[in-house]
Amino acid sequence: MKDLLSVGDLSRERLFRLFTLAADLKQRWKAGRRAAPLAGRSLALIFEKPSLRTRVTFEVGIVQLGGRAVYLSGNEIGLGTRETVPDVARNLSRWVDGIAARVFAHATVQGLATHASIPVINGLSDFEHPCQALADYFTLWERGVDLASMRMAWIGDGNNVCHSMMLAGALVGASMVVACPPGYEPDAGVQAQVRALGGRLQVTTDAREAATGADVLYTDVWVSMGQEAEREKRREAFSRYQLSERLLGFAKPSALVMHCLPAHRGEEITDAVLDGPRSIVLDQSENRLHAQKAVIFELLGGSLDDA
């Protein structure tokens, strides 16, 4: 595996290998074992979109592994305007050991990978968010959830995070029910890919149907960055898809609540659910660090003997 652009780049075996590696690196760090297996390595962070979790976890992650991060905002590079994507990829390949990119168009991260001779990690594109899905399923795995028998309900927009969660769900054997308003369903091609992988997927417009009997309920914002012009239209379309205490009541009594953050409190999720006893959103957030450390470690050639 040279790059991580999509969950589709992973096999079931490699996904669970990354879970095991993330758990190992997490345990070592919390035990105070401050090794530097990637000493002297550097990771360029290309961010067309601002971020809290993605920037901090990638930057801190490479530092905890002994390397360094170089942050490059969209204004500094001007991908596709000031410099072409191929030129940026080729130049960075001469200076750093890897690239993590948080971009708008998925074609941008694909172009970086095509023209770079170093590993490229998709830190988010409008089509997928593989690092989020990796961290989320790792969070469930480390809690001892039986992923193969799990029913996950996705409530809301069939967006980039949904795509990655669907693909990862197919790899781990989970059942996933996606409830979206008409016209906001996950990409048809991703649905076909999930089913080709043997994934158990159902897409519905009924949030209650999706939540009934669920082990996990997951939601995301209704209006993502770049969709601000659609705010009122989306708020109206998604008004019946709020993850509330009432909707949570249709799930199993032991059901867990997930959100990739940031949350628009009072829109896609209520305070009572987000801050409630079933919420594991901060575990997800923390595990972005450990899951991404595993990806960086794997792609940049780290050795556990040095960790």
Q: Are 16 and 143 in contact (CB under 8 A)?
A: no
* 231 part of the active site: no
* 290 part of the active site: no
Catalytic-labelled residue, pool 64, 110, 132, 284: 132
Catalytic-labelled residue, pool 41, 55, 102, 163: 102
Q: How far apart are CA 125 and CA 304, in angstroms?
A: 30
* 132 part of the active site: yes
Catalytic-labelled residue, pool 242, 288, 290, 292: 288
* 131 part of the active site: no
User: What is the 3 state secondary structure string of the chain?
Assistant: CCCECCHHHCCHHHHHHHHHHHHHHHHHHHCCCCCCCCCCCEEEEEECCCCCHHHHHHHHHHHHCCCEEEEEEHHHHCECCCECHHHHHHHHHHHCCEEEEECCCHHHHHHHHHHCCCCEEEEECCCCCHHHHHHHHHHHHHCCCCHHHCEEEEECCCCHHHHHHHHHHHHHCCEEEEECCCCCCCCHHHHHHHHHCCCEEEEECCHHHHHCCCCEEEECCCCCCCCHHHHHHHHHHCCCCCECHHHHCCCCCCCEEEECCCCCECCCECHHHHCCCCECHHHHHHHHHHHHHHHHHHHCCCCHHHC
Catalytic-labelled residue, pool 3, 97, 215, 220: 220
Q: Could you report how far apart the first and last alpha carbons of the chain are, in Å?
A: 21
Catalytic-labelled residue, pool 260, 284, 290, 292: 260
Helix axes 130-142, 160-172, angle to 10 degrees: 50
Catalytic-labelled residue, pool 129, 163, 234, 290: 129
* 102 part of the active site: yes
Q: What is the CA radius of gyration of the chain?
A: 19
* 265 part of the active site: no
**Active-site residue set:** 102, 129, 132, 220, 260, 288
